[in-house]
Structure 1
Amino acid sequence: MDATALRAAGTALRDSAPLVHCLTNTVVQTITANALLAIGAAPAMVDEPAEAGEFAAVASAVLVNLGTVHQRTAEAMRLAARAAGESGRPWVLDPVAVGGLTFRTELAADLVQLRPTVVRGNASEVLALAGTGNGGRGVESTDSPEAALEAAQELARRTLGIVAVSGPVDVVTDGERVVRVGGGSPLLTRTTGAGCALGGVVAAYLATAGDLMTATVAAHAHVALAAEAAAARAAGPGTFAALWLDALDAVDGDALAAADVRAS
């Protein structure tokens, strides 16, 4: 992955302040909004079906996160995803806890047919979405990103987009190319909503970086770099959460250019 492209992606994000439409779960709305503000984006949480499609068509990018989905928000998600596709807006699908629960698994399958720009999830979620696994333990993965690589590549080819698998080393693929993003901290997994916030960060980068693969890798590197910086000063998960937001604000294009990113 070209360091110059990663630097440019970081600069473009700060310069453009994209508006990110977040249809996300009730547990993580605040941290997702704060993370987006910290990286220089503008969040909006519009999940009323009567407004969701209309807003998705004018937002810079859309996040669809299935964490606490119910009938009303499922309708809003379908409308927003369809409107994003029709208006050429990039959108991210975060298939939280798919595989183990029928309603969200069927919804995720419907949304995949609308071709998300990026699917971002843990290994068990990606395996379940690709039809080769049964999901993890709730929101926790019971599989590794490397175990999900083949399924991620197949899913990326099916959607004509990008699939990103989160873990100790994140794996990002467009179906052919594979990029691994290292760094981060285990404290991310002990902070409510950090993974869901990553979906919003990916959406923000998609809105401003020209290449979808570069945008997705830059988003993962941004979050990982901030986690490393926060973990170095944190006394535990409580202080880490606040320090992580500060660190998200501090990451710039030069930091992204030096991130632990490896293409294969």
Structure 2
Amino acid sequence: MQIGHWLERVRAERPLVHNITNLVVTNIAANTLLALGASPVMAHAHEEVADMASIARAIALNLGTLDPYVVTSMDLASEAANRRGVPIVLDPVGAGATPYRTGAAMRLLDTRRVQVLRGNQGEIGVLTGAGGEVAGVDAKGAGAGLVDAMRRFARDRGLIVAATGEEDLVTDGEVVYELANGHPWEASITGSGCSLTAVIGAFVGVSDGTKGGLLEATVAAITCFNVAAEMAAEGAGGPGSFQVRLLDALHTLTARDVDARARIRRG
């Protein structure tokens, strides 16, 4: 699969991505989108989230620092997005760690049209019924039937499911892609997964909205981010310098880099 052209499309169209994300990574996610070539907005006030979602190309909802105010913000924004046909990317951070988080994620999935569900393998295992173990916001493991559960969940709900880990899995309910790019230091810095969710928002924001387009856009977003991580790690001395160099790598990343280094298997 040649996917570098998706990066060029994001840079050409500079999609506005409306992020309702967690307090820990707001700045990191915004800078990630800017480095990539997209346009971030980080609005959560009840008085404007619906208006902002209506003019965005995509919205990225992240449950990282959850409270009732944020839950309402996500309800208002996602309702407006569904009304206007704006794609939603949901990151169910910590689903499985507490009933509150699991319930908030499932409520959005049950009441809104979500286009992409992206979480770590533990979170996705919990939500899709495969089983998973989550400690805080970190995955500790997923059930052995994760791929089948993801495929079934994606097919039944008409969305794309992505489970990230040592090897990333993406499915539309029929096709499953296994993505092998990335670097272990991504797990050693704050906000790598949350920033990836924002990046997926940028890519689906320039898709045609079809199932095939959303699937390829999600595969392209994850691969571009992970190729940039590999490049950043080559000159870094540890997680601190890696985090800074990741922004630089996203900024200088080319379609040729992505196509040359992508490791994608169709399962």
**Structure 2 segments unaligned to the other structure (5+ residues):** none
**In the alignment, is residue 188 of structure 1 matched against residue 186 of structure 2?**
yes
Q: Which residue of 1 aligns with 2:196?
A: 198
Whole-angstrom CA distance in 2 between matches of 1:160 and 1:53 = 24
* 8 Å Cα contact 2:132-2:141 kept in structure 1: no
Query: Structure 1 stretch 66-75 or stretch 209-218: which is displaced more?
Result: 209-218
* Alpha-carbon separation, structure 2, partners of 1:47 and 1:79: 10
Aligned position for 1:13: 10
Compute the displacement of 1:144 (Å): 5.0
Q: Output the amino acid matched with 1:246.
A: D
Alpha-carbon distance, 1:158 to partner:
2.8
1:78-97 alignment runs, 5 A limit: 78-97=75-94
Q: Which amino acid aligns with 1:111?
A: L
Deviation at 1:159, TM superposition (A): 2.4
Mapped pair 1:72 → 2:75: no
Q: Is the 8 A contact 1:96 1:125 kept in 2?
A: yes
What is the aligned length? 261
Identity of aligned residues (%): 39
Residues 1:261 and 2:261 are matched in the alignment: no
Q: Is the 8 A contact 1:47 1:73 kept in 2?
A: yes
The aligned counterpart of 2:57 is 60
How far apart, in 1, do the equivalents of 2:144 and 2:164 lie? 10
Superposition deviation, residue 145 in structure 1? 8.8
Structure 1 residue runs without a partner (length 5+): none
**Inter-partner Cα distance in structure 2 for 1:251 and 1:159:** 34
TM-score normalised by structure 1 residue count: 0.95
Matched ranges for 1:163-174 at <5 A: 163-174=161-172
Question: How far did 1:226 drift?
Answer: 0.7
**Structure 1 residues 13 and 140, CA gap change in structure 2 (3 angstroms):** same
Indicate whether 1:243 and 2:241 are aligned: no
For 1:262, give the aligned amino acid: R
1:204-243 alignment runs, 5 A limit: 204-210=202-208, 211-243=213-245
Q: CA deviation at 1:170?
A: 0.7
CA contact (8 A) 2:18 2:41 kept: yes
SS at match of 1:143: strand
Residues 35 and 248 of structure 1 are in contact (CA less than 8 Å); yes or no, is this contact kept in structure 2?
yes
Paired residues of 1:123 and 1:147 also in contact (CA < 8 A)? no
Give the TM-score, by structure 2 length: 0.94
1:133 CA displacement: 2.3
Query: Greater CA deviation, 46-55 or 25-34?
Result: 46-55
In the alignment, which residue of structure 1 is the partner of 2:146?
A: 148
Q: For residue 99 of structure 1, what is the amino acid of its counterpart? A: G
Residue in 1 that maps onto 2:156: 158
Structure 2 CA distance for aligned equivalents of residues 223 and 144 of structure 1: 23
> RMSD of the TM alignment (CA)?
1.4
Aligned residue in 1 for 2:20: 23
8 A Cα contact 1:124 1:148, kept in partner: no
TM-aligned CA deviation for residue 206 of structure 1: 0.3
